[in-house]
Amino acid sequence: MNKPVEKHIVKNIPLWINNKPAAASSTRMGDITNPATGVITAKVPLCNEADVDTAVQAAKAAFPAWRDTPPLRRARIMMKYRELIDAHRDELAALITAEHGKTLTDAGGSVQRGLEVVEFAMGIPHLIKGEHSEEVGTGVDCHSLRQPLGVCAGITPFNFPAMVPLWMYPVAIACGNTFVLKPSEKVPSTAMRLAELFKEAGLPDGVFNVVQGDKDAVDALLEHPDVKAISFVGSTPIAQHVYETGARHGKRVQALGGAKNHLVVMPDADLSQAVDALIGSAFGSAGERCMAISVAVLVGVRVAVAVPVAVAGSAGVAVGVGVAVAGRDHQHHRRAHHRVRP
């Protein structure tokens, strides 16, 4: 008998505009795949210029009232947002694992790192204080003010669906800006859930918006005259494109590209600890992070002989569906199998 074909429900991921899900006008769609199983779990719209403009206009319309909201009131919303993210951290971790593929342990850790930025943004009434200096010249005082820019945008990568967006928009919004987030089209669900929680925290309509898409959506944000600042994390070639295009259109741009990391093992190193660190860094987060080690520099004969032998045992590391190996932290799993003696 033929095995029955297992059916999977494929959902459609919307945009998030004016504090509610919104349909895209673009007819182009992308697949969302669970990398551990290869199963297509969702479809995501690849926004066009008109879709991006709709989100930007919503953010632009919300800016005057949000800018005039006292920083203390903004901070209260951040406090509530922090509570909601903390309460839903397991749910967020599961969304990350399902679309990115890292283990639940890794995913939960990345949610925590993002949560810490929200905690930082809660202190915005103090952080945005200006400065004042008397008599910088005869009869001249000097003071500075920190004021919001307007609509800001973030373009974020697939490897940290919660942490990297949370680096960007909580601080920008706490400062009185409005925001349009363009997450990776490979991992859109986490951003949508974070948007829902922000609404639940009391964020007004239009202050935070999410558009989906690929290069067309990115270029629409980079070239839009109402977007005042852009933040980007991703590969170096795209970072260069974002910086050059955004700057050419008069925007403030920060663009963080890829990294190359080396691990140096010195002759007097604790080899068990060094090997655990090496394996964890190379393969943690599925090896898809800018802190991943791609080169190990082994100093001295003892280290040069012992470390490769121990690393060869990395085949014992559990590889599979992220949820299934959630209870086995990568490095702890390694320690159970390997002890390198000095």
Per-residue CA distances from 116 to 76, 119, 159, 187 (Å): 16, 5, 18, 21
Higher per-residue confidence, 340 vs 121: 121
How many degrees, rounded to 5, is the angle at CA 114 between CA 231 and CA 16? 65
Q: Kindly report, residue by residue over 178-228, the tens digit of the pLDDT.
A: 999 999 999 999 999 999 999 999 999 999 999 999 999 999 999 999 999
Q: Kindly report, residue by residue over 94-139, the tens digit of the pLDDT.
A: 999 999 988 899 899 999 999 999 999 999 999 999 899 999 999 9
Per-residue CA distances from 52 to 165, 170, 208, 215, 216 (Å): 18, 20, 13, 12, 9
Confidence check: pLDDT of 341 > 50: no
Confidence check: pLDDT of 337 > 80: no
Give the pLDDT score at 329.
42
Q: Kindly report, residue by residue over 13-37, the tens digit of the pLDDT.
A: 999 999 999 999 999 999 999 988 8
290 is catalytic: yes
Give the pLDDT score at 23.
97
Indicate the pTM of the whole model: 0.86
Is 94 strand, coil or helix? Answer: helix
Give the pLDDT score at 319.
63
Give the pLDDT score at 299.
92
Give the pLDDT score at 241.
97
Q: Kindly report, residue by residue over 36-66, the tens digit of the pLDDT.
A: 889 999 999 999 999 999 999 999 999 999 9
Q: Kindly report, residue by residue over 70-81, the tens digit of the pLDDT.
A: 999 999 999 999
HSE-up of residue 240 (Cα within 13 Å, Cβ side)? 3
Q: Which of 142, 152, 175, 290 is labelled catalytic?
A: 290
User: Would you place residue 308 in the very low, low, confident or very high pLDDT band (cuts 50, 70, 90)?
Assistant: confident
- Looking only at the bridges linking them, the beta strands covering 140-144 and 131-137 are antiparallel
User: Would you place residue 315 in the very low, low, confident or very high pLDDT band (cuts 50, 70, 90)?
Assistant: low
Give the pLDDT score at 312.
74
Residue percentage of the chain with pLDDT more than 70: 89
Mean pLDDT (the chain, rounded): 88
Give the pLDDT score at 328.
41
